[in-house]
A and B are shown apart, each in its own frame.
Chain A
Amino acid sequence: MERVLGGNLLGRVDDADIYLEYRINEDMVLEEGAVKKASRHVSQGAGVRAQSGTRTGYAHTDEISLKNLEEAARQARAIADRSASSGNLALPGRGRPHDLYTLSEPPIAAELARKLDLLRRIDAETRAADPRIKQVIASISSEEVIMLIATASGWTVGDVRPLTRLNVTAIAEEGGKREIGSYGGGGRVTFDFFLEDGRWRRFATEAARQAALKLGAVDAPAGSMTVVFGPGWPGILLHEAIGHGLEGDFNRKGTSAFAGRMGQKVASELVTVVDDGTIANRRGSLNVDDEGTPTGRTVLIENGVLTGYMQDRLNARLMGMKPTGNGRRESYAYAPMPRMTNTFMLAGQDDPEEILRSVKHGLYAVTFGGGQVDITNGKFVFSASEAYLVEDGRITAPVKGATLIGNGPEALTRVSRVGSDLKLDEGVGTCGKDGQSVPVGVGLPTIRIDGITVGGTAV
C-alpha cells in the first residue's frame, strides 16, 4: 500500500485507495428444452484512486503486478498535482464489517449437473403450467467476487460476495397472438435456495401464468388515475421516484430535484422509506461497500419528511456528512459513487384487500419491468408488465403493459393508504447509473397513490 500510493502522497490528496478484485461468473441457459449454452468468465484487476477536493484521478489495470499498480497510482496521483488539496483528510474507515452471507457452499461451486437438472425440471414445469406456453428460456447465473480495499488512512478490508439468480421466461401463443412472461429470483444464497419452499416451481408457474394472462389483456388506459401498487417488486417506484434523487453526488452538486430539501415534507406522513444494506442474504446487501465502509440502514424519508442522503466517502466529505456505506462500483474498472442497496417503504396499518376495495376506478399494478428517472426535473417512469383495471373495488380485466410517469418530489405526497404487507422483491434488481450496473433490492407494502399518469392507448 505504502509503496504503491507513495509516502508523500498524503500531503497532497484528501483520500486515496487501492481496490483489488477477482471475479468468476458462470451462466447456464436452457432454451428449446436443452442446455445448449454454458459459459464461464474470469476477471481480475485493480483500481487506484486519488482524490483532492472535488477531483478524482482513477486508473485501473487488469494485470495485477506491482509495476502496473505503481503506474496506475502515478496516473491517479497526477491529478493531485494539478490541484490544491483541501487539507481535509477523509476519516478513516470505521465500524466492523457485517457477516451477511457466509454460505455452506457458494453457488458458483454447486455441481453443474444439479444446475442442469434443475433447468430441465423448470422447462417441464413451465410448459405443463399452461398448454399455450410454446417457448421456455431458463437461466442460472452465479457469481463470486473477492475484493480487497486498502485506503490511505490505513484501513484494509476484504469481502467475498456470492450471488446467484434464476430466471424463467415463457412465451405463450394463441390464435396468432404471442406474449411473454418472466419471473425469477435469487440473492447471496446457496444453490439450494432455489429448491427450498417450492421456489423454483413458483418461478416457473409465475412466468407461465403471466405470459398466458397477457394474451387476454385489453388496452391500458391513458391519463391520470388512482393506482394501487402490489407488494414487493413494485418498490421500484421508490428506487426511481426518490432513491436516485437522494444519492449524495446529485445533492452536493445541486442537480437533484431534491437538493436543499432536507427536513422538508416530500411525501405523505404515511411514508417512511429506508435504504438498508445489512439484510442477510439479500441481493442488494454488502458486508462493506466498495470503499470499505460497513453498510448501514439509512432512513431516507421518515413520516413524509426528508431525513437522509446516501453517501460515498467523497460526497460525505464534501458535504460534511458521514459515509453511509453506499459507495459502490460495478467492478475494478470503475470509481465508486453513491448507489442504493435495498430500498423499501416500511409497512403501514391498512389491510391490503381493503385498500383495493377503496378504489372506485383505477389500476392495480403488481409486476413491473425497468424504470428510469431524470434526476434534475424529478420525472420518473417505470413500466407495469402485469396490471388490472379496478372498478368499484373489484379487479376486472388485465391490461397490456404501460409506462407510468410521475414527478419524484410530488408522487409520494399522494400516497393515501399503506398496507401492512411489506414484502421485499425476489432478488432480481440491477440498477444502472453512469454506465455502471450493480445488484440492488427494493420492497413495498400494498399502497394506493391518488393520481399518477398511466401511459396506455385507451383515451
Chain B
Amino acid sequence: MNTDLLVSVLKRAAQRGATAADGFLVEEGRFSASVRMREIENISHSREQRLSLRVFAGRASAAASTSDLSRDSLERVVDEATALARITADDPHAGLPDPSTLVAEVPDLDLEDAGADLTPEQKIELARRAEAAALESDPRVTNSEGAEYSDRRARYAYATSHGFAHDYGTTGFSISVSPIASRNGEMQRDYWYSSARKRAKLEDPEAVGRKAAARAVRRLGARKMKSVEVPVVFDPETAASLVRSIAGAASGPSLYRRASFLLDRLGTKIAASAVTIVDDALIPSALGSRPFDGEGLATGRTVLVRDGVLESYLLDTYSARKLGLSSTHHAGRDGSGVSVTTTNLMLLPGKTTPAELIRSVKNGFYVTELIGFGVNGVTGDYSRGAVGQWIENGELAYPVEEVTVAGNLLEMLSAIDGVGDDLILRDRTVAPTLRIGRMVVAGT
C-alpha cells in the first residue's frame, strides 16, 4: 500500500521527464508522557508522514519532500523536483545504484513489537515509577527535570524507478529520567535512559531512576582542577561519542569534500591495536538495524577499523563513485535527500574490567559527561567541556567539573592503552570504557 503510492509518484516523475527517480516514505505515530515531581507534566500524541523524492534528469538531480500526501500536493512535488533538476549542473557521479546490486531478499530483523499497546495511564505510570525511584533513592535528590516515557511506531517504504519497492516497520520505546541532587546550595543534574525496539526489553523503570539518581548524587561537591596532563578514562557513554566522531570523519561526504582527518588513511594504522570498530546492520531487534539502506542496497557488517587499521570508509553510492570506491551500503534518507548513516556502530570490547582500568591510574581523570561542540572533523583537533571523577591511586576520589579535555583525535586513538570488557548494545553507537594514556585537562 505504501509502496503503491511511491510507485505512482515515480511514474509521474517519469512522465515529467525524469530519467530516473527514487522515493522514500515514512509514516509514524508517537506518544510521550512526562511526569515531574510526581505530577503529570506533558502528554503528546502525533501522527506524521513525509514523502521525499529524488529525481534525475540525465546526470543532474534534485530533491523535494512534502508532509501533505494529497494528490495535488504530490503532483506539485514531482513538478518542482523535476524543474529543479533541470537547473542543477550535470554531475558524472550522480545516479541510482546499479539495479543488479539491489537487495535480493529483504531480511526480517524483528524490529517491531507485536505486543498490545499500553493505555495512556499505564504509560504515565512507567514514567512516574522511574521518577519516584530517583526521588526516593537518596535524600539529596531534591528536585527533578522529570521523567518521560515515549513510544514510536513507524513504517518505511522505498521505491526506485527501476522497479524496487519494499517496506518495513519498526517500533521504539524509551524511558528517561533527569533528577537533580543538591547539597549546601550546590545543584547537580544528571540523567539515565533505556531504549529498545521491544517494550519488554526496556530496563525496569526503577532501575533507570536509581541509576539516574546515583549519577546526579556522585557529582555533588565537584571541584575545579589545576591544568595538568594525565591519563584519561572515558566511561562507555563518553567513549561512544569518540566513536561517533570517527564515523563522521570516515563518512563519504566528509572525504570527497577533503574535510576529514581520515582522508588518504585507508589501510593505515589510525588507532592502537586494541581498537576494532564494527558497524553491523543485521543484529535482530537492535536499535540501529535495518534490512536495506536508503538506496535499497543490502545491509551487513562492515569492519571500519580492525586492530587499529582503517579498513573501510562509510559510503553511499554517490560518495563512493566520487572516491572511486564501491558503496558500503550506508545510505541514509532524511527529508533533504541522501546522507551517510551508521547502523549499530560498536567499538568491540577488550578483556579488562572498567574497575581494573581505573585501578591502573595513579593520578588521572574519569570522564562521565562531555559538553559542547569542540571537535574539528577536518584536523581531528579535540577540546570539550568535561565532568567526571578524579582518580587518585586507582580510586575514584572526588567529582570534578568546569574543566576541558583536549588533544587530537588521531593522537588520542593511538594513545588508547586500555579497552574495557563492558560493551552493552543499549543504543545505536556504543563503546566500552576506554583509557587514553595522556591528555591535557585544562582548569584553573
Contact call A372/B187, Cβ cutoff below 8 A: no
From A41, A59, A458, contact of B66 by CB (8 A):
A41
Which positions 1-53 of chain A face chain B at CB distance < 8 Å? 27, 31, 34-45, 53
Contact call A371/B337, Cβ cutoff below 8 A: no
Contact call A222/B374, Cβ cutoff below 8 A: no
Complexed CA–CA distance, A400 and B408 (Å): 11
Contact call A403/B188, Cβ cutoff below 8 A: no
For A61, list chain B residues within 8 Å (CB): 46-48
**Apart from the given pairs A44-B67, A173-B258, 17 other A-B contacts in the complex at a CB distance below 8 Å:** A27-B336, A37-B62, A42-B73, A43-B67, A55-B40, A55-B42, A57-B44, A58-B44, A61-B46, A79-B40, A82-B40, A134-B258, A135-B257, A180-B259, A255-B145, A370-B372, A402-B383
Contact call B385/A372, Cβ cutoff below 8 A: yes
From B48, B65, B372, contact of A333 by CB (8 A):
B48
Contact call B48/A62, Cβ cutoff below 8 A: yes
Report if B39 contacts A (CB, 8 A).
yes
Residue-by-residue, is A179-222 near B (CB-CB < 8 Å gives 1, otherwise 0)?
11000000000000000000000000000000000000000101
Report if B9 contacts A (CB, 8 A).
no
Contact call A372/B67, Cβ cutoff below 8 A: no
For B91, list chain A residues within 8 Å (CB): 34, 36
Contact call A45/B444, Cβ cutoff below 8 A: no
Contact call B44/A41, Cβ cutoff below 8 A: no
Known A59-B45, A178-B378, A453-B403; judge A39-B336 contact (CB<8 A). yes
A-B contact pairs, 17 of them (CB 8 A): A38-B84, A40-B84, A42-B66, A44-B68, A56-B41, A60-B48, A135-B258, A222-B404, A223-B227, A253-B36, A255-B144, A370-B372, A376-B189, A377-B187, A400-B379, A403-B374, A406-B402
Contact call A55/B406, Cβ cutoff below 8 A: no
Report if B61 contacts A (CB, 8 A).
yes
Main secondary structure of the interface of B (DSSP, over half): strand
Rounded to whole Å, the gap between the CB of B29 and the closest CB of chain A is: 10
Contact call A78/B383, Cβ cutoff below 8 A: no
Residue with the greatest number of chain A CB neighbours at <10 A, chosen from B45, B258, B384, B385: B385
Which positions 387-439 of chain A face chain B at CB distance < 8 Å? 400-403, 405-407
Report if A113 contacts B (CB, 8 A).
yes
Binds B, one of A85-93, A124-132, A270-278, A378-386: A378-386
Contact call A459/B229, Cβ cutoff below 8 A: yes
Closest to B376 in A: A401
Is the interface on chain A under 10, 10 to 19, 20 to 34, or 35 or more residues?
A: 35 or more
Report if A228 contacts B (CB, 8 A).
no
Closest to B34 in A: A56
Complexed CA–CA distance, A372 and B372 (Å): 5
For B62, list chain A residues within 8 Å (CB): 37-40
Rounded to whole Å, the gap between the CB of B437 and the closest CB of chain A is: 14
Mark A residues whose CB is within 8 Å of B: 27, 31, 34-45, 53-63, 72, 75, 78-79, 82-83, 112-113, 116, 134-135, 137, 171, 173, 177-180, 220, 222-224, 253-255, 257, 333, 335, 369-377, 379, 381-383, 400-403, 405-407, 453-459
For B45, list chain A residues within 8 Å (CB): 58-60, 72, 75
Contact call A383/B373, Cβ cutoff below 8 A: yes
Closest to A53 in B: B39
Known A57-B44, A372-B372, A406-B402; judge A31-B257 contact (CB<8 A). yes
For B76, list chain A residues within 8 Å (CB): 42
Contact call B378/A222, Cβ cutoff below 8 A: no
From A171, A179, A224, contact of B443 by CB (8 A):
A224
Closest to A30 in B: B89
For A381, list chain B residues within 8 Å (CB): 371-372, 374, 384-385, 404
Residue-by-residue, is B24-57 near A (CB-CB < 8 Å gives 1, otherwise 0)?
0000000000001001111111111110000000
Contact call B187/A455, Cβ cutoff below 8 A: no
Report if B77 contacts A (CB, 8 A).
yes
Contact call B336/A371, Cβ cutoff below 8 A: no
Complexed CA–CA distance, A253 and B179 (Å): 12
Complexed CA–CA distance, A184 and B20 (Å): 35
Closest to A82 in B: B40
Contact call A180/B376, Cβ cutoff below 8 A: yes
From A42, A369, A400, A454, contact of B65 by CB (8 A):
A42
Contact call A178/B258, Cβ cutoff below 8 A: yes
Contact call B63/A39, Cβ cutoff below 8 A: yes
Contact call A37/B43, Cβ cutoff below 8 A: no
Complexed CA–CA distance, A408 and B96 (Å): 51
Contact call A57/B384, Cβ cutoff below 8 A: no
Complexed CA–CA distance, A373 and B263 (Å): 33
Report if B105 contacts A (CB, 8 A).
no
Complexed CA–CA distance, A379 and B224 (Å): 11
Rounded to whole Å, the gap between the CB of A385 and the closest CB of chain B is: 8
Rounded to whole Å, the gap between the CB of B401 and the closest CB of chain A is: 6
For A82, list chain B residues within 8 Å (CB): 40
Contact call B187/A403, Cβ cutoff below 8 A: no
Contact call B46/A377, Cβ cutoff below 8 A: no
Known A54-B36, A255-B180; judge A405-B440 contact (CB<8 A). no
